[in-house]
Structure 1
Amino acid sequence: MERYDKYLSGFILFIAGIYYYFITQLPAKAGSYPKFVLTLLLFFTVILGIKSFISKKNDDKKKLFQGILPKQFLFIVITCLIYTAVLNIFGFFISTFIYLIVVMTGLKIKIKNACLVSCGFCVVIYLVFVIFLKVPVPSGILI
């Protein structure tokens, strides 16, 4: 896997260079947050690159996706398609709440935990994006 990490690190550094070029053309205030995110991206990419060049371990490709079943993958793909189809009908929060519960229970997580995580996720998204950042989310029938 380290061989792919080396290629990935190089590719991300190349893309980051392109983004940096575009960020420098923004006004100073508008470019501060993208520069912060780009700095984090570069930091973690350099760590990945160093780790991949230092490590001598050769992982087996078969071990990479060993625990994933084809039925689980297909289930996730189908639920994502349904989620995007009903997003504008039911609205973001109802669709997301139901989607997260269905996906987590489909992946064998207890329903109680799935409901708690789904509810908590929706509340955090509402507080951060709707209240704090004033970002509009898709509205639907009920909300």
Structure 2
Amino acid sequence: MKRSDIGVTVIIYAFTLFFLVMTLELPPDAQTYPLCLIGGLLALNTLYLGRCLLRARGGAGVVNDLPEIFAGFQWKQFGVVCLSCVLYMIIMALAGFYAASLLYLAGMLWYLGVPRGQALATIGAMAAMIYCVFSLFLKVPLPVGLLFK
């Protein structure tokens, strides 16, 4: 078992607990899909944790792999991505879900150096997928933003 495995499973359990609490605040009809996703994530995470524990019990022990994992960590890139997530939420409150999502995606693809053609194809495909899944299939009301109310 690697030390990073412990951190990853704990973080996933924390996220699923957070989203479970938020999901239970939704109306009962809106809880089905998120609960299925949360249940699946919990099951997969538990299976992974069990596999890691069996491997550790088999004599491998706990190996500290964190220095190797974070050897080439790019703090600047991490900071820019975190800051852009905060800006995404602010833009979503102002301009709505669709505009904020497409701006965020375009900005991140540009910042990470994705070629222009691939970025445009990705943005187009994601725009169509977001619209089809959320608006047509799930019929979920999405934030429209203060500018469009």
8 Å contact from structure 1 (residues 87, 138) kept in 2: yes
> Does residue 1:51 correspond to 2:18, yes or no?
no
Mapped to 2, the partners of 1:106 and 1:33 lie a distance apart of 33
Residue of 105, 108, 115 corresponding to 1:103: 108
8 Å contact from structure 1 (residues 3, 52) kept in 2: no
Deviation string, structure 1 residues 14-41 (Cα, Å, up to 9, x no partner) = x87xx6xxx8xxx8x8876566445423
Partner residue, 1:117 = 122
Partner residue, 1:137 = 142
Residue of 53, 69, 74 corresponding to 2:74: 69
Q: RMSD of the alignment, in Å?
A: 3.5
Which residues in structure 2 correspond to 1:16-31 (within 5 Å)? none
Cα displacement (A) at 1:42 = 3.8
SS in 2 for 1:109: coil
Structure 1, unmatched stretches of 5+, are none
Amino acid of the structure 2 residue aligned with 1:64: I
Q: Percent identity?
A: 26
**TM value normalised by structure 1:** 0.70
**TM value normalised by structure 2:** 0.67
Structure 2, unmatched stretches of 5+, are none
